Structure 1
């Protein structure tokens, strides 16, 4: 635990060292003022003639002598007024400590969440797609917020430690022998509690794993709602969900029991200890009544700090694994993002050096020159020695069997992947590439937000223009109620308020709203019926005068109007030509697709 806590505190200092140190200083001031209020009880009781006059520490005897020289009413007023001032200052300082502790914890976790997200977004597609997405969901929603609890536990523990030290100094000044006895007993209790602390660390690791499993199961079942219902396995899936929930519940109960056990034991021990202290003080040590009352009060306040500190220590051990989980994931992502950045720079430089302007590639928008690519830990290349050129303002279609390498080509063009061999040249007009995947990102929001979010600063007029170009305004206007703007229509969860063809036209409008030079559609029309597919094909024919279009598809009807068709099989380019040229060959892949 020590190394993890040290790293966490180091990160805290890097993020906001000034606030961290200020909070610790305020903590010391608050504990000191609290100690002063305790010490002031002795002169108050002496003035009220509770017991014998006590020999006060820290020069307070002279202060008491001064007070005794004053008239009774005045001395009582002065002492109680000072007591009120100190108590007020202490209350204010406690509030400041709590507020700043929360600022420190919440600020740190907010920064961690933002950094994690930025690192995730900068990681390569190969790295991102190989991960279980529930790991990142769990990290952002569960593990990072647990760090707030860890920091709050630490700050509370530090408050208890500082308070205990000051209270012990006061107790020693009043009765060293009695204080020494209590410290020995408290130390024995703390050693006894160590086994609970070790168990807390184990429970913390189990809870971290259970949080991740719970998040994964929730995502899996919610995303597979239709399949679960259609297969008639709702009861079995409900049982699976219930098992995970109950395991999570049992772990939480076990953790709570482990944390609360030391408090129960210490409460019983506290009653015994106070009785022993009172007996020893009265019959053996002969401490003055006022001092003894204060000593008892100090230990009555001090003793609960022991189980509380133990609880905070166990809480740190339970929640600190979340920090280690975060560090492990971030380490992988940061290493990968550095690699991705270097690769991107190399690719950009290669493009700059090799193209040297438009004259080097002529009317080519994209060119692959003996490109190869192999996924990490794969036994063979996903693409091997692939070369082709895509002319500007044309529609080029990639087809081939599933897993042949078509999507890998697209990911290479998009810069998500970097070739292990060869060169890629891209000259998209305006330097922009638009991408429409098979399952596009649809916000449960308005049509406007579904377009504007991807094009910050775009005006409503530009959105309408894009929707008109994709022939989407017609059906949007028909769906509007009186006085409602088509842009205010809500898409619903995953676009449920619209048909598949309507969603694709809105998504296509989103893609062209940024006036891209290169438009890529990766299986974007695979779920559409013939009518909607034909409509999209007509739209693309009109759009190619403004941009270069790349299609990835499996159906002949989707690609037959393309200017050029490239067949990818087993990671290699096996055929290239127009639909008419390829269909003349009875052995071509396109002919087999049409006949098959």
Structure 2
């Protein structure tokens, strides 16, 4: 809880101090209005029969009606000040907490976007989405309540001071009674924290189930297992519901007991005030008023602290995630001169091991990828092809050895410049739920209309885009669901070619395409500008055949390399065995 409060303060120290000071002023203005109740009530003092006895001390030689008007004027002025200050405090509360949450989200996004690839892929997508949305919302609500709790304490301090001026014994009686209740409910704080952890765990399970089932809805229906999956979803939803109900029970119990306790204490306060303390009617009414304002402070503070404690595990998980990702972050480096690729990409004595692996995947690897040619990486699944591509593109860092672009070593300070030379087309491309135009301009906002059309033409996509209902302004649907697989792939290929890259990486980009669309992609590769180097991962003979240079990867080692004809000439080569199996 204190770490959350510290983070809120650090996000805007001046705003936090202003909020506290203004809360004190709100409390003081409210206290003045309460103090004025005494002379107002004593204007009609039933016991003494002297209407103006107290007021004459402060306003001598002034008629009673003028005295009353003065006090009422001060009372109204105090309430107006309180209302104005309270509005300003509410706006300051909102700005302080929202600024904090924006900074927290930006920290999280910065950690995710700059994280080392090995660390990032350990997180489920649904867990990260939950952090950005549900967890941030819970932390935001806790931050709001924590700030409100500080204002509540400021108000309580002023009200306690006023009550002590009115009557010390009764005020101490209220304070001791409320403090006793508060201490009695301390175990609830620990249970609330545990409940918060349970809620977060069930939320992660719930959102992961949603993500998995929506992503795989077509397969779920094709297997006819809707009922079984519906039960899994229902179980996750019921667990989520049960944990929230448990939290409601935890927070409702203290509120109920505080309400019952307040009724008992008010009755006792009235009895002792009249029977033993001889409190006047005016003071008794003010004390009761103070009691009615002070006692709810305990109830509200108990509720606030319990709700904040439920968010403490969420805040801790957020901080741990940011720390884990930031610890391995790829820190942006100063701009360097653009890299050029004219001869080769060379891997010299490169070794690599995934974190936590028993043995390195690659050791002392020597490899040259020729520039301005199409190179295919082939091999069994798990042989290390994708790892090799990730090393070349900078997603992974060698544990030993060096990667050179022509004669330039690929160092961290040159990584951003190198990535600006690369375009990447995955097997499952990202298409936004927008138009064809937006799906390209989102990544290349500087493109002109002519350059956009040219990119679509180079990717063999312009003909079908023209036939769409609104052309380039046609919505493609979520993940491009309104387009065929080949059309989606060509839109993404147009996006990749729009930047005129030095290196084009195709990660099994033709694996799920039909023969016609695969032929179109091969035609695109044949028509590419001669300065573009193409590195593709392929499993189809038809795609491999179009490559100028082929590298066979096996268990993290380079088993064979050469042209299609050269490798096929060896009867025991990987390509020869592929042809035999076909």
User: Structure 2 length normalisation: TM-score?
Assistant: 0.94
Given that 1:205 and 1:318 are in contact with CA atoms closer than 8 Å, whether structure 2 keeps it comes out as: yes
2:319, 2:35 → 1: CA distance?
A: 46
Given that 2:466 and 2:472 are in contact with CA atoms closer than 8 Å, whether structure 1 keeps it comes out as: no
Shift of 1:426: 2.0
2:511, 2:503 → 1: CA distance?
A: 20
SS of 1:334's equivalent in the other structure is helix
What is residue 455 of structure 1 aligned with on the other side?
444
Shift of 1:381: 2.0
What is residue 412 of structure 2 aligned with on the other side?
none
2:102, 2:145 → 1: CA distance?
A: 18
2:346, 2:164 → 1: CA distance?
A: 83
Match for residue 348 of structure 2 among 347, 353, 369: 369
Shift of 1:45: 0.9
1:540, 1:594 → 2: CA distance?
A: 23
Given that 1:371 and 1:384 are in contact with CA atoms closer than 8 Å, whether structure 2 keeps it comes out as: yes
Shift of 1:10: 2.2
SS of 1:519's equivalent in the other structure is strand
* 1:259-289 Cα shifts (integer Å, max 9, x gaps): 1111111111111111111111111100121
What is residue 7 of structure 2 aligned with on the other side?
11
Given that 2:55 and 2:67 are in contact with CA atoms closer than 8 Å, whether structure 1 keeps it comes out as: no
Shift of 1:332: 0.7
* 1:555-596 Cα shifts (integer Å, max 9, x gaps): 111110111000000110010111111111111101111111
1:406, 1:561 → 2: CA distance?
A: 18
1:22, 1:324 → 2: CA distance?
A: 27
Structure 1 residues 357 and 447: CA distance shift in structure 2, 3 A: closer
What is residue 542 of structure 1 aligned with on the other side?
527
Given that 1:582 and 1:590 are in contact with CA atoms closer than 8 Å, whether structure 2 keeps it comes out as: yes
Match for residue 183 of structure 2 among 185, 191, 201: 191
Shift of 1:357: 8.9
Structure 1 residues 21 and 513: CA distance shift in structure 2, 3 A: same
Shift of 1:494: 1.7
What is residue 390 of structure 1 aligned with on the other side?
369
2:229 is the counterpart of 1:237: yes
Counterparts in 2 of 1:18-417, with a 5 A limit?
Answer: 18-52=14-48, 65-67=57-59, 69-337=61-329, 340-341=330-331, 363-417=342-396
Structure 1 residues 429 and 357: CA distance shift in structure 2, 3 A: closer
User: Which runs of 5 or more structure 2 residues have no equivalent in the other structure?
Assistant: 407-416
Structure 1 residues 431 and 114: CA distance shift in structure 2, 3 A: closer
2:74, 2:82 → 1: CA distance?
A: 12
What is residue 425 of structure 1 aligned with on the other side?
404
SS of 1:515's equivalent in the other structure is coil
Given that 1:190 and 1:306 are in contact with CA atoms closer than 8 Å, whether structure 2 keeps it comes out as: yes
Count of residues in correspondence between the two structures: 570
User: Which runs of 5 or more structure 1 residues have no equivalent in the other structure?
Assistant: none
Structure 1 residues 510 and 52: CA distance shift in structure 2, 3 A: farther
SS of 2:70's equivalent in the other structure is helix
Structure 1 residues 51 and 62: CA distance shift in structure 2, 3 A: closer
Given that 1:364 and 1:389 are in contact with CA atoms closer than 8 Å, whether structure 2 keeps it comes out as: no
SS of 2:59's equivalent in the other structure is helix
What is residue 531 of structure 1 aligned with on the other side?
516
Structure 1 residues 25 and 50: CA distance shift in structure 2, 3 A: farther
2:483, 2:457 → 1: CA distance?
A: 17
Given that 1:374 and 1:380 are in contact with CA atoms closer than 8 Å, whether structure 2 keeps it comes out as: yes
What is residue 503 of structure 1 aligned with on the other side?
488
The alignment yields a C-alpha RMSD, in angstroms, of: 2.2
1:173, 1:319 → 2: CA distance?
A: 38
SS of 2:236's equivalent in the other structure is helix
1:191, 1:391 → 2: CA distance?
A: 74
Structure 1 residues 429 and 155: CA distance shift in structure 2, 3 A: closer
Given that 1:36 and 1:86 are in contact with CA atoms closer than 8 Å, whether structure 2 keeps it comes out as: yes
Match for residue 444 of structure 1 among 418, 425, 433: 433
2:454, 2:181 → 1: CA distance?
A: 75
Shift of 1:544: 4.5
SS of 1:368's equivalent in the other structure is strand
Shift of 1:488: 0.1
Structure 1 residues 429 and 227: CA distance shift in structure 2, 3 A: closer
Q: Which runs of 4+ in 1 moved over 6 A?
A: none
Given that 2:362 and 2:556 are in contact with CA atoms closer than 8 Å, whether structure 1 keeps it comes out as: yes
What is residue 409 of structure 2 aligned with on the other side?
none
SS of 2:62's equivalent in the other structure is coil
* 1:169-192 Cα shifts (integer Å, max 9, x gaps): 111111111212222211221122
Structure 1 residues 525 and 75: CA distance shift in structure 2, 3 A: same
Shift of 1:51: 4.1
SS of 1:543's equivalent in the other structure is coil
1:108, 1:86 → 2: CA distance?
A: 32
Match for residue 517 of structure 1 among 476, 499, 502: 502
What is residue 578 of structure 2 aligned with on the other side?
593
